[in-house]
Amino acid sequence: MEIAVLLSVALLGAMAVYVAGRFSARGRNALAVLVALAVMVGVALLYGRGVRMAYYRLPILDATLVLRSNPLAWFFAMAVAAIGFFSILFSLEYMKGHARLGFYYAAMLVVNGAMLGIVLSGDLISLYVFWEIMSWTTYLVISYRGGRAVAAGLKYMVMSIIGSCAMLLAIVSVYVHCGTLEIAALAEPMQSASTGFALFILLMFAIGFGIKNAVMPLHTWLPDAHSEAVSPFSAVLSGILVRMGMYGFVLIMYGVLGLGLLARFGSGVLSFGYLFAWVGALTIVIPTFTALLQDDSKRLLAWHGVGQGGYMILGIAMATPLGIAGGIFHTLNHCIYIALLFLVAGAVEYRTGGIRDLNQLGGLAKRMPVTFVGGLAGICGLIGVPLTNGFASKWLIYKALIADGHPFLAFAALVGTWGTILSVYKFQHNTFLGQLPERYKDVKEVPFVMQLPILLLTAAILVFGIFPGIPLGAIGAIQRSLGLEALRVGAFSVPPEVGELNTITILAAVAGGCLVPYILFRLCRRSRTVAQADTYGAGAYAPADRYQYSARFYDRAYAVIEPYVRDRVDAFYYWLVEKSEGVFEAARHLYGGNVNTYALYIMLFLALILAVGFGWGL
Amino acid sequence: MWVVGIIALPLLAIGVSVFFLGVSRKVTARIQRRYGPPLYQPVIDVVKLLAQEEHVSHGMVFDAGMVLALGGSLATVLFIPVGGLHPLSAGGDLLVILYLMLLPPLGLALAAGAAENPNASIGVSRKLILALGYEVPFLLALLAVMTQEGTTSLVAIAEAQQPSVLEWGLVRAPLSALAVALVLPAMLGLRPFDMATAPQEIASGTLVEFGGKYLVLAALQGALHTYIVIALFVDLFLGGGANVLTFLAKMGVVFFGGLLINAVYPRVRIGQALRFCWKWPTLLALLGLVVVMVMGR
């Protein structure tokens, strides 16, 4: 019952916001925040409770539509609700003055409601319906700004439809085989399925979820869509919407098929898990190094959205308690820091008049200190600097890969981290450090409602980084509910048989380490603070307005890397589109409009069928 | 023992690394047929800089970045076993060390970016490109060692090499050891790979804005970085140490070798350095990892 109320609030609330927008802007904003907050509280109340509710009986398929909550669903639902709330909060100031705001808020809330619907669906029909609602509303929000955003939205939509078709095919096949669509009841009949059939189901779902999760080579929609969408929605898009694919992967791989069936898909280097892990490794390396070449702040982050997805895939593909826990944990961590980084990029955009070009910014740290700190926490999380959340999950993934004897996969993951370091440092440096251009001398920090989500997400990065046991406890519950062995973990350390990691020890070491230079620092005379421009130039002083070292920040590395990271996949898709347009054009000529010709076609087709039929019979 | 280690290790690290600084100036001078400053010259420099009447700062980020840089180095030192001393090894393995080593350059880069000196930015950019270069063979070599020993714990890796010289990483994984040895000058920022702090070219790069106590923190951080990298090399490939003294002796040998290279080579360009790191050392490290995997089966 609670779930139905929750989803009704989420979806009907969105309609109410749209209607309220017709009367008063203030009322609309208040209502939007209220709905997002209510949904977040509602989801939080579901914690630790296994709820199941049949809400509709389909007369045609003899199937019952079910809503349910379990640890896996709750985990993702909480992330959806929290990121949704933060982005609505951030939108209040960010979106001020834009047109069609009633539509914008309503669509944002519908997207949130649809994502909640996906994770809380207990059967494949509901899941599919909510999946489609999510895809279509997302398209509307991406193309909201018009212009290039429409093209980006269209690209997203075409790929989404392909994914949906694959998913639908899988759902129908599952129904024919199992006679039920309730996810919880699928595991048992699937065990008796032939390996080929199970693999087919898995691959079809993998196409659907893989496109959403932007797994190479199905990732090409993402960089365009993320950079063209408005920033608060980019945070939702990259933080959690894309990760609905991860939810799907965990659900199908471990909730429906299970370890036993997965182990039957080949063995050694030709097993599903191993190949899937290599897909993950490729998804880490190529997009991360592509991010290095980007000059658009949001496009840079978007490529990391693709790249970090690879770590999650690597984790769950390992199928060990360590790997699965790492993969799911990284999904949550990524959601936090990438949402934060998109909000930071949005805050900079907001104060500089929509500038996303990293070569035109610089030196904003002093003008926007809170945003700067948020950006710093975000990039540290993304890199996986110790004491931030990204470190804990990446550590689990590296450890799982090394313990399982996959050094080359571990190498891909570790090198991906170095690509990440270079590119996100460029993001932070070119935006916040170095010379402040003359035209931004009077830039102010963003208003408090925009600072609030930034601060809360920064806090989350540190809390989960220092106490990884909190989220890992919830992940342990997921593993148990899926019938897997759970990773045993304390509040801030893993047991000795798993490895050596204790975040409190690390915190104490870093704090103690910093105390020494701090004392030394204070014992000396106070320093005199000078203007930023008061620098040593070795006789060649930096000109006042524009002397930032940022364009082609890693010039020499680009020369080496650039030839290898062209997006050939995207080019291939465009080629495919061009060619198929030609084919369709040719096909159009077949339809001359003459009834006699059509009759001829029908006769020819029947003749073909008969011929094939006879051939088969013989 | 535990508390002793926590207090002794940083002191030892600072002492050794400052001594190394003094040695480096002397050795370089002798190779260049100069007399050179006394061994304790770095101590004089530190005292002089700390007592300086005026220190110039560029604000909060500048100060905090420098504290983080040295603090991060001291924290890293606590996780690296030296002989029998390894006070915090249960709290962090080689992966943790690898990532703790990111804190000092992060702090340094933040401090360098707080002023608007393009030389500092160029220095950071070069440092990062160079790191991207040497990390590739270094990570491959680390993975070879971790796979061979079946653990990610640096203490376990060092202890496994204790029985005899034949158990040293240098002997058991010679290709990986050679690969790391080739990129060691790059990791230490020695010539021919000192482009990130090139004094004549970009006014010492990241260090350009530091004076007074800031320069002390930066210099100590640099010295500790040398200590950390060499200690890692000794733990990974030169058998660690039965006690602190043998460990330090091995470190001294490695450092001396680095100095000889530093004294005679000219600086290369950053693009050349990147290509070099990704060519021979990477090939060797890759081959080393394959050998380890094939032997392991």
Give B106's contacts in chain A (Cβ within 8 Å). 380, 385
Instruction: Quote the domain boundaries for residue A342.
Output: 271-486
> Which whole-number Å values give the CA distances from A362 to A281, A336, A355, A420, A530, in the listed order?
33, 25, 11, 20, 18
Which amino acid would we find at residue A300?
A: L
| Among A279, A398, A424, A268, CA closest to A342 | A424
pLDDT value, residue A4: 83
Structure confidence at residue A543 (pLDDT): 67
Q: Measured between beta carbons, which residues in chain B are less than 8 angstroms from residue A268?
A: none
Query: Residue A521 — very low, low, confident or very high, per pLDDT cuts 50/70/90?
Result: confident
Does a structural domain hold residue A14? Answer: no
Do residues A268 and A406 touch, judged by C-beta distance below 8 A?
no
CA distance A208 to A142: 20
Is pLDDT larger for residue A537 or for residue A479? A479
Residue of B nearest to A529 (CA): B57
**Does one domain contain both A291 and A409?**
yes
Nearest to B128 among A402, A518, A554 (CB): A554
Mean pLDDT of B171-184: 89
Number of domain units in chain A: 2
- Percent pLDDT > 90 in chain A is 14
User: Is residue A612 located within the same domain as residue A471?
Assistant: no
**Mean pLDDT, to the nearest integer, of B256-280?**
87
> Do A573 and A481 lie in a common domain?
no
What's the 3-state SS for B167-184? HCHHHHCHHHHHHHHHHH
CB A401 within 8 A of CB B95: no
Give the CA distances from residue B272 to residues A155, A290, A307, B130, in Å, rounded to whole numbers and listed in that order.
40, 21, 28, 10
Chain A residues with CB under 8 Å of B159 CB are none
Share of chain A above pLDDT 70, in %: 96
Residue among B71, B78, B116 minimizing CB distance to A434:
B116
Q: How far is A313 from chain B (nearest CA, A)?
A: 20
Cα–Cα distance between A118 and A73 in angstroms, integer? 9
Looking at residue A180, its amino acid is T
DSSP line for B17-81: HHHHHHHHHHHHHHHTT-----TTHHHHHHHHHHT-S-EEE--HHHHHHHHHHHHHHHHHHHHS-
Task: Check residue A520 and give its pLDDT.
Answer: 82
pLDDT of residue B1: 66
Residue A463 has a pLDDT of 92
pLDDT tens, position by position, A331-386: 999 999 999 999 999 999 888 887 888 888 877 888 888 999 999 999 999 998 88
pLDDT at A86: 92
CB spacing of A366 vs B70 below 8 angstroms: no
Cross-chain residue pair B139–A535, CB shorter than 8 Å: no
Nearest-angstrom CA–CA distance, A212 and B209: 47
Q: B274 vs A560: CB contact, 8 Å cut-off?
A: yes
A486, A501, A517 - which closes a domain: A486
Contact (Cβ atoms closer than 8 angstroms) between residue A52 and residue A122: yes
* pTM higher than the cut 0.80: yes
Q: Which residue of A has its CA nearest to B55?
A: A527
Question: Are A510 and B58 inside 8 Å of each other by CB?
Answer: no
pLDDT, tens only, A547-576? 667 777 787 778 777 777 776 777 777 777
State yes or no: pLDDT of A618 exceeds 60.
Answer: no
Interchain proximity A536–B114, CB inside 8 Å: no
Residue B8 to chain A, least CA–CA distance (Å): 13
What pLDDT shows up at residue A311?
Answer: 92
Query: Are A473 and A594 found together in one domain?
Result: no
* Residues A480 and A580 occupy one common structural domain: no
Residue of A nearest to B117 (CA): A535
Chain B residues 82-141 with CB within 8 Å of chain A: 88-93, 95-96, 98-100, 102-103, 106, 109-110, 113-119, 121-122, 124-125, 128-129, 131-132, 135-136, 139-140
Please tell me which of the candidates A524, A528, A535 has its beta carbon nearest to residue B116.
A535
Window 33-92 of B, Cβ < 8 Å to A: 50-61, 63, 66-68, 70-75, 78-79, 88-92
Query: Per residue in A94-148, pLDDT tens?
Result: 888 777 888 888 888 999 999 999 998 888 888 898 998 888 888 888 877 777 7
B88 to A325, A386, A538, B129, B221: CA distances (angstroms) = 25, 15, 44, 31, 20
Tell me if B115 and A535 make a contact (CB, 8 A cut-off): yes
Name the domain boundary from A435, A457, A486: A486
Cβ–Cβ of A536/B117 closer than 8 Å?
Answer: yes
Q: Tell me which residue in A408, A434, A560 faces B121 most closely, judged by beta carbons.
A: A434
Q: Which residue of A has its CA nearest to B213?
A: A521
Distance CA B207, CA B95 (A): 28
Task: Please give, rounded to a whole number of angstroms, the shortest distance from the CA of B48 to a CA of chain A.
Answer: 11
- Do A430 and A361 form a contact (C-beta atoms < 8 A)? yes
Contact at CB, A536 and B209, closer than 8 angstroms: yes
Residues 558-587 of A with CB under 8 A from B: 559-560
Whether A405 and chain B come into contact, CB under 8 Å, resolves to yes
Domain-ending residue, one of A458, A486, A514 = A486
How far apart CA B138 and CA B51 sit, in angstroms, is: 40
Residue A55 falls inside a structural domain: no
N residues, chain A: 618
| Cα pseudo-dihedral B65, B69, B74, B80, rounded to 10 | 140
Kind plus residue range of the DSSP H or E element containing A410: helix A407-432
Cβ distance of A418 and B131 shorter than 8 Å: yes
- Residue A455 pLDDT > 70: yes
List the single residue in A366, A517, A536 with the smallest CB-CB distance to B70: A517
Assess if residue A590 is contained within a domain: yes
- Residue A66 domain-assigned (yes or no): no
Q: Tell me whether residues B213 and A365 touch, CB distance under 8 A.
A: no
Q: How confident is the model at residue A153 (pLDDT cuts 50, 70, 90)?
A: confident
DSSP A450-471: HHHHHHHHHHHHHHHHH-THHH
**Is A117 within a domain?**
no
| Complex ipTM more than 0.85, yes or no | yes
Q: What angle do CA B212, B216, B217 make, to 5 degrees?
A: 120
Query: Chain A neighbours among B 219-278 (CB < 8 Å)?
Result: 220, 269-271, 274-275, 278
Residue B121 has which token pair?
């930015």
8 A C-beta contact, residue B277 and residue B135: no
Burial of A530 (0-12, 13-18, 19+ CB in 10 A): middle
pLDDT tens, position by position, A179-222: 888 888 888 888 887 888 888 888 888 888 888 888 777 777 77
Q: B7 and chain A: CB distance < 8 Å anywhere? A: no
Question: Which of A 360-379 lie inside 8 A of B, CB atoms?
Answer: 363, 365-366, 369, 372, 376
pLDDT of the residue at B124: 86
Measured at the CA of A190, the angle between CA A184 and CA A191, to 5 degrees, comes to: 110
Most B-contacting residue of A389, A501, A523, A535 (CB-CB within 10 A), to test interface: A535
CB-CB neighbors (< 8 A) of B274 in chain A: 556-557, 560
Q: Are residues A468 and A587 in the same domain?
A: no
| A476 located within any domain | yes
Q: Note if the bond before B192 is cis, omega within 30 degrees.
A: yes
Whether residue A513 and residue B216 make contact (CB cut-off 8 A), yes or no, is no
